[in-house]
Structure 1
Protein backbone atom coordinates (compact mmCIF):
# COMPACT_ATOMS: atom_id res chain seq x y z
CA UNK A 1 0.00 0.00 0.00
CA UNK A 2 1.38 3.47 -0.80
CA UNK A 3 2.21 5.01 2.53
CA UNK A 4 4.46 7.36 4.46
CA UNK A 5 5.09 8.32 8.04
CA UNK A 6 2.16 10.70 7.69
CA UNK A 7 -0.30 7.93 6.84
CA UNK A 8 -1.43 6.02 9.91
CA UNK A 9 -3.53 2.90 10.24
CA UNK A 10 -5.44 2.10 13.42
CA UNK A 11 -8.05 -0.45 14.56
CA UNK A 12 -11.70 0.41 13.81
CA UNK A 13 -13.54 2.55 16.37
CA UNK A 14 -15.46 0.83 19.15
CA UNK A 15 -18.63 -0.76 17.88
CA UNK A 16 -17.57 -0.63 14.23
CA UNK A 17 -17.46 -3.62 11.96
CA UNK A 18 -14.12 -5.25 11.29
CA UNK A 19 -12.02 -3.16 8.95
CA UNK A 20 -9.28 -0.57 8.71
CA UNK A 21 -9.25 3.09 9.64
CA UNK A 22 -6.84 5.37 7.77
CA UNK A 23 -5.90 9.02 8.22
CA UNK A 24 -4.92 10.53 4.86
CA UNK A 25 -2.35 13.28 5.16
CA UNK A 26 -2.90 16.54 3.23
CA UNK A 27 0.24 15.84 1.24
CA UNK A 28 -2.01 13.47 -0.76
CA UNK A 29 -4.45 16.27 -1.67
CA UNK A 30 -5.71 16.99 -5.17
CA UNK A 31 -7.96 20.05 -5.46
CA UNK A 32 -10.26 19.88 -2.40
CA UNK A 33 -9.63 16.32 -1.19
CA UNK A 34 -7.42 13.27 -1.28
CA UNK A 35 -6.26 12.04 -4.68
CA UNK A 36 -8.76 9.49 -5.96
CA UNK A 37 -6.15 6.99 -7.09
CA UNK A 38 -4.60 6.93 -3.64
CA UNK A 39 -7.98 6.38 -1.96
CA UNK A 40 -8.76 3.59 -4.46
CA UNK A 41 -5.38 2.00 -3.67
CA UNK A 42 -6.25 2.08 0.04
CA UNK A 43 -9.55 0.38 -0.78
CA UNK A 44 -7.67 -2.35 -2.65
CA UNK A 45 -5.41 -2.88 0.36
CA UNK A 46 -8.48 -3.13 2.63
CA UNK A 47 -9.88 -5.89 0.45
CA UNK A 48 -6.54 -7.71 0.47
CA UNK A 49 -6.43 -7.42 4.27
CA UNK A 50 -9.94 -8.85 4.58
CA UNK A 51 -8.94 -11.83 2.47
CA UNK A 52 -5.85 -12.38 4.62
CA UNK A 53 -7.95 -12.18 7.80
CA UNK A 54 -10.04 -15.06 6.47
CA UNK A 55 -6.91 -17.10 5.82
CA UNK A 56 -7.10 -16.79 2.05
CA UNK A 57 -3.85 -16.96 0.12
CA UNK A 58 -2.40 -14.07 -1.84
CA UNK A 59 -3.98 -13.68 -5.28
CA UNK A 60 -3.09 -11.12 -7.95
CA UNK A 61 -5.74 -8.47 -8.50
CA UNK A 62 -7.22 -8.49 -12.00
CA UNK A 63 -9.65 -5.58 -11.81
CA UNK A 64 -10.51 -2.79 -9.39
CA UNK A 65 -13.51 -0.49 -9.57
CA UNK A 66 -14.13 2.53 -7.34
CA UNK A 67 -17.05 4.95 -7.18
CA UNK A 68 -16.19 8.22 -5.44
CA UNK A 69 -19.16 9.43 -3.43
CA UNK A 70 -17.60 12.37 -1.55
CA UNK A 71 -14.21 14.08 -1.23
CA UNK A 72 -11.95 12.51 1.39
CA UNK A 73 -10.24 14.77 3.93
CA UNK A 74 -7.93 14.13 6.91
CA UNK A 75 -10.64 12.79 9.23
CA UNK A 76 -10.66 9.05 10.01
CA UNK A 77 -11.63 7.08 6.92
CA UNK A 78 -12.99 3.63 7.77
CA UNK A 79 -12.91 0.79 5.23
CA UNK A 80 -15.16 -2.26 5.53
CA UNK A 81 -14.53 -5.08 3.07
CA UNK A 82 -16.25 -8.41 2.57
CA UNK A 83 -16.15 -11.37 0.18
CA UNK A 84 -18.66 -11.64 -2.65
CA UNK A 85 -17.39 -14.92 -4.06
CA UNK A 86 -14.56 -17.31 -3.25
CA UNK A 87 -13.78 -19.80 -6.03
CA UNK A 88 -10.89 -22.08 -6.81
CA UNK A 89 -9.41 -19.64 -9.31
CA UNK A 90 -11.35 -16.39 -8.91
CA UNK A 91 -12.29 -14.33 -5.87
CA UNK A 92 -14.45 -11.21 -5.76
CA UNK A 93 -14.61 -8.66 -2.96
CA UNK A 94 -16.48 -5.47 -2.15
CA UNK A 95 -15.49 -2.47 -0.03
CA UNK A 96 -17.09 0.65 1.42
CA UNK A 97 -15.30 3.64 2.91
CA UNK A 98 -17.10 5.90 5.41
CA UNK A 99 -15.95 9.25 6.76
CA UNK A 100 -17.85 11.21 9.37
CA UNK A 101 -20.73 8.75 9.06
CA UNK A 102 -21.10 9.45 5.33
CA UNK A 103 -20.10 6.99 2.57
CA UNK A 104 -17.11 8.33 0.66
CA UNK A 105 -16.32 5.39 -1.62
CA UNK A 106 -17.75 2.08 -2.70
CA UNK A 107 -15.89 -0.40 -4.84
CA UNK A 108 -15.06 -3.95 -5.75
CA UNK A 109 -12.16 -6.07 -6.96
CA UNK A 110 -11.60 -9.29 -8.85
CA UNK A 111 -8.66 -11.45 -7.77
CA UNK A 112 -7.50 -14.39 -9.87
CA UNK A 113 -4.86 -17.09 -9.88
CA UNK A 114 -2.17 -17.09 -12.55
CA UNK A 115 -2.76 -19.78 -15.16
CA UNK A 116 -1.84 -20.78 -18.70
CA UNK A 117 -3.33 -19.29 -21.82
CA UNK A 118 -2.67 -17.40 -25.07
CA UNK A 119 -0.34 -14.39 -25.07
CA UNK A 120 -1.24 -11.25 -26.99
CA UNK A 121 -0.08 -7.64 -26.68
CA UNK A 122 -2.19 -5.24 -28.69
CA UNK A 123 -0.95 -2.03 -27.05
CA UNK A 124 2.84 -1.77 -27.38
CA UNK A 125 4.59 1.00 -25.47
CA UNK A 126 5.20 4.19 -27.48
CA UNK A 127 8.73 4.79 -28.74
CA UNK A 128 9.77 7.77 -26.61
CA UNK A 129 13.00 9.00 -25.00
CA UNK A 130 14.05 7.38 -21.76
CA UNK A 131 13.14 9.21 -18.50
CA UNK A 132 16.62 10.65 -17.97
CA UNK A 133 16.32 12.42 -21.35
CA UNK A 134 12.97 14.03 -20.48
CA UNK A 135 12.49 17.25 -18.47
CA UNK A 136 10.94 17.26 -15.01
CA UNK A 137 7.41 18.64 -14.69
CA UNK A 138 6.26 20.22 -11.43
CA UNK A 139 2.48 20.43 -11.04
CA UNK A 140 1.11 23.36 -8.98
CA UNK A 141 0.99 22.38 -5.31
CA UNK A 142 -2.23 24.39 -4.88
CA UNK A 143 -4.00 22.03 -7.30
CA UNK A 144 -2.07 18.79 -6.85
CA UNK A 145 -0.16 18.60 -3.58
CA UNK A 146 0.24 14.84 -4.06
CA UNK A 147 2.46 15.46 -7.11
CA UNK A 148 5.33 16.30 -4.75
CA UNK A 149 5.41 12.58 -3.93
CA UNK A 150 6.06 11.79 -7.60
CA UNK A 151 8.63 12.48 -10.27
CA UNK A 152 6.91 13.35 -13.54
CA UNK A 153 8.82 13.64 -16.83
CA UNK A 154 6.73 14.37 -19.96
CA UNK A 155 7.79 12.16 -22.85
CA UNK A 156 6.30 14.37 -25.58
CA UNK A 157 5.83 18.08 -26.13
CA UNK A 158 2.29 18.06 -24.72
CA UNK A 159 1.91 19.84 -21.39
CA UNK A 160 -1.00 20.48 -18.99
CA UNK A 161 -2.59 23.84 -19.81
CA UNK A 162 -0.44 24.01 -22.93
CA UNK A 163 -3.27 24.86 -25.34
CA UNK A 164 -2.52 21.90 -27.58
CA UNK A 165 -4.58 20.25 -30.30
CA UNK A 166 -4.98 16.75 -28.82
CA UNK A 167 -6.44 15.70 -25.46
CA UNK A 168 -3.55 13.43 -24.54
CA UNK A 169 -0.63 13.50 -22.11
CA UNK A 170 2.25 11.01 -21.97
CA UNK A 171 4.84 10.98 -19.21
CA UNK A 172 7.34 8.86 -17.35
CA UNK A 173 6.36 8.68 -13.68
CA UNK A 174 7.73 7.18 -10.49
CA UNK A 175 7.37 7.74 -6.76
CA UNK A 176 9.90 10.11 -5.23
CA UNK A 177 11.10 7.31 -2.94
CA UNK A 178 11.63 5.04 -6.01
CA UNK A 179 9.36 2.31 -4.62
CA UNK A 180 8.88 -0.59 -7.06
CA UNK A 181 5.71 -0.92 -9.06
CA UNK A 182 2.86 -3.05 -7.74
CA UNK A 183 -0.91 -2.98 -8.15
CA UNK A 184 -1.46 -0.27 -5.53
CA UNK A 185 1.19 2.09 -6.89
CA UNK A 186 -0.14 1.48 -10.39
CA UNK A 187 -3.62 2.59 -9.28
CA UNK A 188 -2.15 5.84 -7.96
CA UNK A 189 -0.27 6.45 -11.21
CA UNK A 190 -3.40 5.72 -13.28
CA UNK A 191 -4.98 8.80 -11.71
CA UNK A 192 -1.86 10.95 -11.29
CA UNK A 193 -1.67 12.86 -14.57
CA UNK A 194 -4.06 15.79 -14.99
CA UNK A 195 -7.26 15.11 -16.96
CA UNK A 196 -6.31 14.85 -20.62
CA UNK A 197 -8.51 17.84 -21.48
CA UNK A 198 -5.89 19.92 -19.68
CA UNK A 199 -3.66 19.38 -22.73
CA UNK A 200 -6.17 21.49 -24.72
CA UNK A 201 -6.88 24.17 -22.15
CA UNK A 202 -4.82 27.09 -20.91
CA UNK A 203 -6.72 27.56 -17.63
CA UNK A 204 -7.35 24.93 -14.96
CA UNK A 205 -10.82 23.92 -13.87
CA UNK A 206 -12.12 21.05 -11.73
CA UNK A 207 -12.63 17.75 -13.57
CA UNK A 208 -13.18 15.32 -10.67
CA UNK A 209 -13.46 11.57 -11.11
CA UNK A 210 -16.82 9.96 -10.36
CA UNK A 211 -15.74 6.40 -11.20
CA UNK A 212 -12.41 4.68 -11.83
CA UNK A 213 -11.84 1.15 -13.10
CA UNK A 214 -8.39 -0.38 -13.49
CA UNK A 215 -7.67 -3.67 -15.28
CA UNK A 216 -4.30 -5.24 -14.44
CA UNK A 217 -2.19 -7.53 -16.63
CA UNK A 218 -0.14 -10.55 -15.60
CA UNK A 219 3.00 -8.41 -15.93
CA UNK A 220 2.26 -7.24 -12.39
CA UNK A 221 2.10 -10.79 -11.00
CA UNK A 222 5.87 -10.75 -10.49
CA UNK A 223 5.87 -7.09 -9.34
CA UNK A 224 8.33 -5.39 -11.73
CA UNK A 225 11.42 -4.16 -9.92
CA UNK A 226 11.77 -0.98 -11.98
CA UNK A 227 10.23 2.07 -10.34
CA UNK A 228 9.55 3.92 -13.61
CA UNK A 229 6.22 3.66 -15.42
CA UNK A 230 5.22 5.22 -18.72
CA UNK A 231 1.70 6.61 -18.36
CA UNK A 232 -0.57 7.86 -21.12
CA UNK A 233 -3.95 9.51 -20.54
CA UNK A 234 -6.33 10.56 -23.29
CA UNK A 235 -9.88 11.86 -23.37
CA UNK A 236 -12.01 9.60 -25.53
CA UNK A 237 -15.10 11.81 -25.33
CA UNK A 238 -16.37 14.93 -23.59
CA UNK A 239 -19.83 16.45 -23.69
CA UNK A 240 -22.80 17.40 -21.55
CA UNK A 241 -20.52 18.24 -18.62
CA UNK A 242 -18.97 14.74 -18.57
CA UNK A 243 -15.79 13.22 -19.93
CA UNK A 244 -14.28 9.76 -20.38
CA UNK A 245 -10.52 9.38 -19.88
CA UNK A 246 -8.52 6.26 -20.70
CA UNK A 247 -5.12 5.62 -19.15
CA UNK A 248 -2.47 3.09 -20.15
CA UNK A 249 0.47 2.18 -17.92
CA UNK A 250 3.61 0.41 -19.11
CA UNK A 251 6.64 -0.69 -17.09
CA UNK A 252 10.08 0.78 -17.72
CA UNK A 253 10.94 -2.16 -19.96
CA UNK A 254 7.80 -1.76 -22.08
CA UNK A 255 5.41 -4.31 -20.58
CA UNK A 256 1.75 -3.36 -20.35
CA UNK A 257 0.80 -3.19 -16.66
CA UNK A 258 -2.73 -1.83 -16.60
CA UNK A 259 -5.54 -0.16 -18.48
CA UNK A 260 -7.81 2.31 -16.70
CA UNK A 261 -10.96 4.25 -17.53
CA UNK A 262 -12.47 7.16 -15.62
CA UNK A 263 -15.85 8.87 -15.77
CA UNK A 264 -15.31 12.55 -14.94
CA UNK A 265 -17.53 15.54 -14.38
CA UNK A 266 -16.53 18.80 -16.04
CA UNK A 267 -17.72 21.32 -13.51
CA UNK A 268 -18.26 24.43 -15.61
CA UNK A 269 -19.72 22.52 -18.56
CA UNK A 270 -17.55 24.23 -21.19
CA UNK A 271 -16.94 22.28 -24.38
CA UNK A 272 -13.49 20.80 -24.91
CA UNK A 273 -13.56 22.42 -28.35
CA UNK A 274 -13.93 25.88 -26.84
CA UNK A 275 -11.54 26.14 -23.87
CA UNK A 276 -11.86 29.27 -21.83
Structure 2
Protein backbone atom coordinates (compact mmCIF):
# COMPACT_ATOMS: atom_id res chain seq x y z
CA UNK A 1 0.00 0.00 0.00
CA UNK A 2 1.31 3.45 -0.93
CA UNK A 3 0.82 6.39 1.44
CA UNK A 4 0.73 9.97 0.17
CA UNK A 5 0.50 13.40 1.74
CA UNK A 6 0.23 16.99 0.55
CA UNK A 7 0.94 19.90 2.88
CA UNK A 8 0.94 23.65 2.33
CA UNK A 9 3.49 25.59 4.32
CA UNK A 10 5.58 28.76 4.10
CA UNK A 11 9.18 29.67 4.76
CA UNK A 12 9.60 32.34 7.43
CA UNK A 13 10.97 35.44 5.61
CA UNK A 14 13.54 35.84 8.37
CA UNK A 15 15.16 32.63 7.08
CA UNK A 16 16.19 34.30 3.83
CA UNK A 17 19.59 33.96 2.19
CA UNK A 18 20.98 35.67 -0.90
CA UNK A 19 18.92 33.84 -3.52
CA UNK A 20 15.74 32.90 -1.69
CA UNK A 21 15.14 30.81 1.39
CA UNK A 22 18.08 29.38 3.32
CA UNK A 23 18.72 25.93 1.84
CA UNK A 24 19.17 23.98 5.06
CA UNK A 25 16.06 25.52 6.58
CA UNK A 26 14.00 24.83 3.44
CA UNK A 27 15.09 21.18 3.61
CA UNK A 28 14.10 21.09 7.29
CA UNK A 29 10.66 22.51 6.50
CA UNK A 30 10.13 19.86 3.81
CA UNK A 31 11.17 17.11 6.23
CA UNK A 32 8.74 18.37 8.85
CA UNK A 33 5.94 18.52 6.27
CA UNK A 34 6.24 14.85 5.27
CA UNK A 35 7.61 13.20 8.39
CA UNK A 36 4.49 12.93 10.53
CA UNK A 37 2.50 11.18 7.81
CA UNK A 38 5.26 9.20 6.12
CA UNK A 39 7.70 8.34 8.91
CA UNK A 40 6.75 4.68 8.93
CA UNK A 41 5.17 4.58 12.36
CA UNK A 42 7.31 7.22 14.00
CA UNK A 43 10.68 5.76 13.08
CA UNK A 44 13.61 8.18 13.46
CA UNK A 45 14.92 9.76 10.27
CA UNK A 46 18.32 8.45 9.20
CA UNK A 47 19.06 10.31 5.97
CA UNK A 48 17.59 13.27 4.12
CA UNK A 49 18.53 14.31 0.58
CA UNK A 50 17.21 17.52 -0.96
CA UNK A 51 17.79 18.83 -4.49
CA UNK A 52 17.18 22.55 -4.94
CA UNK A 53 15.71 23.04 -8.40
CA UNK A 54 15.04 26.76 -8.00
CA UNK A 55 15.24 29.36 -5.22
CA UNK A 56 12.41 28.91 -2.71
CA UNK A 57 10.40 32.14 -2.59
CA UNK A 58 7.92 33.61 -0.10
CA UNK A 59 4.92 32.08 -1.86
CA UNK A 60 3.10 29.08 -0.34
CA UNK A 61 5.19 25.92 -0.55
CA UNK A 62 3.21 22.78 -1.38
CA UNK A 63 5.12 19.70 -0.21
CA UNK A 64 3.81 16.36 -1.45
CA UNK A 65 5.28 13.02 -0.50
CA UNK A 66 4.82 9.36 -1.32
CA UNK A 67 5.90 6.33 0.70
CA UNK A 68 5.61 2.87 -0.84
CA UNK A 69 4.83 -0.12 1.35
CA UNK A 70 7.34 -0.09 4.22
CA UNK A 71 9.46 -2.92 5.52
CA UNK A 72 9.66 -4.12 9.08
CA UNK A 73 12.77 -2.06 9.80
CA UNK A 74 12.94 0.86 7.41
CA UNK A 75 10.65 3.20 5.52
CA UNK A 76 11.49 5.51 2.63
CA UNK A 77 9.64 8.44 1.11
CA UNK A 78 10.16 10.77 -1.81
CA UNK A 79 8.86 14.31 -1.84
CA UNK A 80 8.58 17.37 -4.03
CA UNK A 81 8.02 21.01 -3.21
CA UNK A 82 6.08 23.24 -5.62
CA UNK A 83 5.48 26.97 -5.72
CA UNK A 84 3.02 28.49 -8.19
CA UNK A 85 2.85 25.15 -9.96
CA UNK A 86 6.60 24.85 -10.54
CA UNK A 87 8.89 22.39 -8.72
CA UNK A 88 11.51 23.99 -6.46
CA UNK A 89 12.53 21.02 -4.26
CA UNK A 90 12.96 17.30 -4.88
CA UNK A 91 14.10 14.91 -2.18
CA UNK A 92 13.94 11.66 -0.28
CA UNK A 93 14.15 10.55 3.32
CA UNK A 94 14.94 7.21 4.96
CA UNK A 95 13.52 6.26 8.37
CA UNK A 96 14.55 3.40 10.61
CA UNK A 97 14.38 2.41 14.31
CA UNK A 98 17.26 1.88 16.69
CA UNK A 99 18.65 -1.62 16.92
CA UNK A 100 21.43 -3.37 18.79
CA UNK A 101 24.90 -3.25 17.31
CA UNK A 102 28.47 -2.00 17.81
CA UNK A 103 29.18 1.66 18.50
CA UNK A 104 31.96 3.72 16.95
CA UNK A 105 32.81 7.41 17.28
CA UNK A 106 34.99 8.25 14.29
CA UNK A 107 34.22 11.98 14.19
CA UNK A 108 35.13 13.44 17.60
CA UNK A 109 34.27 17.07 18.22
CA UNK A 110 37.18 19.50 17.72
CA UNK A 111 38.97 20.61 20.87
CA UNK A 112 37.96 24.27 20.96
CA UNK A 113 37.04 26.83 23.63
CA UNK A 114 33.46 26.76 24.89
CA UNK A 115 30.79 29.06 23.46
CA UNK A 116 31.00 31.54 26.34
CA UNK A 117 34.71 32.01 25.62
CA UNK A 118 34.14 32.82 21.94
CA UNK A 119 33.04 36.27 20.68
CA UNK A 120 29.88 36.51 18.54
CA UNK A 121 30.11 36.78 14.78
CA UNK A 122 28.12 39.69 13.38
CA UNK A 123 27.14 38.88 9.81
CA UNK A 124 25.81 41.80 7.80
CA UNK A 125 22.07 41.49 7.04
CA UNK A 126 22.66 41.90 3.30
CA UNK A 127 25.14 39.02 3.43
CA UNK A 128 23.02 36.60 5.48
CA UNK A 129 19.54 37.86 6.43
CA UNK A 130 18.87 34.65 8.38
CA UNK A 131 21.77 35.38 10.76
CA UNK A 132 19.37 37.19 13.10
CA UNK A 133 17.79 33.81 13.84
CA UNK A 134 21.01 32.28 15.19
CA UNK A 135 23.85 33.14 17.54
CA UNK A 136 27.14 32.22 15.84
CA UNK A 137 30.43 32.23 17.76
CA UNK A 138 33.58 31.23 15.82
CA UNK A 139 35.65 28.74 17.80
CA UNK A 140 38.88 28.94 15.77
CA UNK A 141 40.94 31.66 14.09
CA UNK A 142 39.28 30.94 10.73
CA UNK A 143 36.74 33.67 9.95
CA UNK A 144 34.53 34.50 6.95
CA UNK A 145 36.14 36.87 4.42
CA UNK A 146 39.44 36.92 6.32
CA UNK A 147 41.56 35.55 3.46
CA UNK A 148 42.87 32.68 5.57
CA UNK A 149 44.81 29.60 4.47
CA UNK A 150 42.03 27.02 4.99
CA UNK A 151 38.56 26.56 3.54
CA UNK A 152 37.08 25.64 6.91
CA UNK A 153 34.90 27.31 9.54
CA UNK A 154 34.13 26.03 13.05
CA UNK A 155 31.64 27.79 15.31
CA UNK A 156 29.24 27.35 18.18
CA UNK A 157 25.67 27.97 17.08
CA UNK A 158 22.33 28.17 18.86
CA UNK A 159 18.88 29.18 17.69
CA UNK A 160 17.71 32.59 18.90
CA UNK A 161 14.21 31.22 19.56
CA UNK A 162 15.42 28.19 21.52
CA UNK A 163 14.59 25.64 18.81
CA UNK A 164 15.69 22.17 19.89
CA UNK A 165 18.37 20.17 18.13
CA UNK A 166 15.96 17.67 16.62
CA UNK A 167 16.23 16.38 13.05
CA UNK A 168 14.78 19.57 11.57
CA UNK A 169 16.97 21.84 13.67
CA UNK A 170 20.11 19.86 12.92
CA UNK A 171 19.30 19.87 9.19
CA UNK A 172 19.31 23.67 9.30
CA UNK A 173 22.61 23.71 11.19
CA UNK A 174 24.44 21.59 8.61
CA UNK A 175 24.06 24.59 6.29
CA UNK A 176 24.00 27.47 8.78
CA UNK A 177 27.62 28.65 8.50
CA UNK A 178 28.84 30.66 5.50
CA UNK A 179 30.29 28.56 2.67
CA UNK A 180 33.70 27.31 3.75
CA UNK A 181 35.33 29.04 0.77
CA UNK A 182 34.49 32.32 2.50
CA UNK A 183 37.35 31.57 4.91
CA UNK A 184 39.75 31.85 1.94
CA UNK A 185 38.12 34.85 0.26
CA UNK A 186 38.01 38.53 1.14
CA UNK A 187 35.14 39.38 -1.21
CA UNK A 188 31.84 37.47 -0.96
CA UNK A 189 30.05 35.89 -3.85
CA UNK A 190 26.91 33.73 -3.96
CA UNK A 191 27.55 30.02 -3.40
CA UNK A 192 24.03 28.54 -3.35
CA UNK A 193 23.34 24.92 -2.46
CA UNK A 194 22.25 22.66 -5.32
CA UNK A 195 21.99 19.44 -3.27
CA UNK A 196 22.22 18.66 0.44
CA UNK A 197 22.37 15.22 2.05
CA UNK A 198 22.26 14.84 5.83
CA UNK A 199 23.01 11.64 7.77
CA UNK A 200 21.65 11.66 11.32
CA UNK A 201 22.95 9.76 14.35
CA UNK A 202 20.93 8.22 17.15
CA UNK A 203 21.81 11.19 19.40
CA UNK A 204 19.31 13.36 17.49
CA UNK A 205 16.48 11.40 19.09
CA UNK A 206 17.28 13.00 22.46
CA UNK A 207 15.97 16.39 21.20
CA UNK A 208 18.73 18.37 22.89
CA UNK A 209 18.69 22.14 23.10
CA UNK A 210 21.19 24.96 23.52
CA UNK A 211 24.54 25.17 21.79
CA UNK A 212 25.80 22.99 18.96
CA UNK A 213 29.30 22.94 17.52
CA UNK A 214 29.28 23.14 13.72
CA UNK A 215 32.15 22.61 11.29
CA UNK A 216 32.02 23.13 7.54
CA UNK A 217 34.88 22.66 5.09
CA UNK A 218 35.31 22.60 1.34
CA UNK A 219 36.90 19.38 0.14
CA UNK A 220 37.05 20.45 -3.50
CA UNK A 221 36.16 23.41 -5.68
CA UNK A 222 36.54 23.81 -9.43
CA UNK A 223 34.59 24.31 -12.62
CA UNK A 224 32.10 26.57 -10.88
CA UNK A 225 31.18 23.93 -8.27
CA UNK A 226 32.23 23.12 -4.70
CA UNK A 227 31.77 20.14 -2.40
CA UNK A 228 31.27 21.03 1.27
CA UNK A 229 31.26 18.65 4.23
CA UNK A 230 29.71 19.63 7.54
CA UNK A 231 29.36 18.08 10.99
CA UNK A 232 27.18 19.01 13.96
CA UNK A 233 27.95 18.03 17.56
CA UNK A 234 26.00 18.61 20.75
CA UNK A 235 27.51 20.73 23.51
CA UNK A 236 28.60 17.56 25.31
CA UNK A 237 30.48 16.30 22.24
CA UNK A 238 28.03 13.85 20.71
CA UNK A 239 27.90 13.74 16.92
CA UNK A 240 24.39 14.65 15.75
CA UNK A 241 24.72 14.67 11.97
CA UNK A 242 27.03 14.73 8.98
CA UNK A 243 26.16 16.71 5.87
CA UNK A 244 27.54 16.94 2.37
CA UNK A 245 26.40 19.42 -0.24
CA UNK A 246 27.09 20.35 -3.82
CA UNK A 247 27.27 24.11 -4.31
CA UNK A 248 27.31 26.37 -7.33
CA UNK A 249 30.09 28.97 -7.19
CA UNK A 250 28.97 32.11 -8.99
CA UNK A 251 31.48 33.71 -11.36
CA UNK A 252 31.48 37.22 -9.87
CA UNK A 253 31.23 38.89 -6.47
CA UNK A 254 27.90 39.84 -4.96
Range class of TM-score, shorter chain: over 0.9
With normalisation by structure 2, the TM-score equals 0.95
Within the candidate set 64, 72, 79, 1:80 is matched to: 64
Larger RCO (CA under 8 A, 6+ residues apart): 2
Q: Is the 8 A contact 1:47 1:94 kept in 2?
A: no
Partner secondary structure for residue 116 of structure 2: helix
Q: In the TM superposition, what is the alpha-carbon distance from 1:51 to its structure 2 partner?
A: 2.1
Question: Could you report, residue by residue, the CA deviation over 1:139-192 in whole angstroms, capped at 9, with x for unpaired residues?
Answer: 111121111000000001111001000000000001002222101000001111
Question: Could you report, residue by residue, the CA deviation over 1:61-110 in whole angstroms, capped at 9, with x for unpaired residues?
Answer: 00000000000111111000110341111000111000011100000000
Counterparts of 2:118 and 2:5 in 1: how far apart (Å)?
46
With normalisation by structure 1, the TM-score equals 0.88
Partner secondary structure for residue 182 of structure 2: helix
Counterpart residue number, 1:33: 20
Question: Structure 1 segments of 4 or more deviating over 6 A?
Answer: none
Q: Is the 8 A contact 1:60 1:221 kept in 2?
A: yes
2:221 pairs with 1:234: no
Counterparts of 2:133 and 2:20 in 1: how far apart (Å)?
16
Counterparts of 2:155 and 2:69 in 1: how far apart (Å)?
37
Counterparts of 2:68 and 2:21 in 1: how far apart (Å)?
27
Q: In the TM superposition, what is the alpha-carbon distance from 1:43 to its structure 2 partner?
A: 1.1
2:211 pairs with 1:214: no
Counterpart residue number, 2:231: 248
Partner secondary structure for residue 164 of structure 1: coil
Structure 1 gaps, min length 5: 1-16, 271-276
> Aligned runs of 1:81-120 on 2, under 5 Å?
81-120=65-104
Q: In the TM superposition, what is the alpha-carbon distance from 1:42 to its structure 2 partner?
A: 1.0
CA-atom RMSD in angstroms: 1.6
What is the number of equivalent residue pairs in this alignment?
251
2:133 pairs with 1:133: no
2:254 pairs with 1:267: no
Counterpart residue number, 1:60: 44
Counterpart residue number, 1:182: 166
Q: In the TM superposition, what is the alpha-carbon distance from 1:38 to its structure 2 partner?
A: 0.8
Q: In the TM superposition, what is the alpha-carbon distance from 1:18 to its structure 2 partner?
A: 4.5
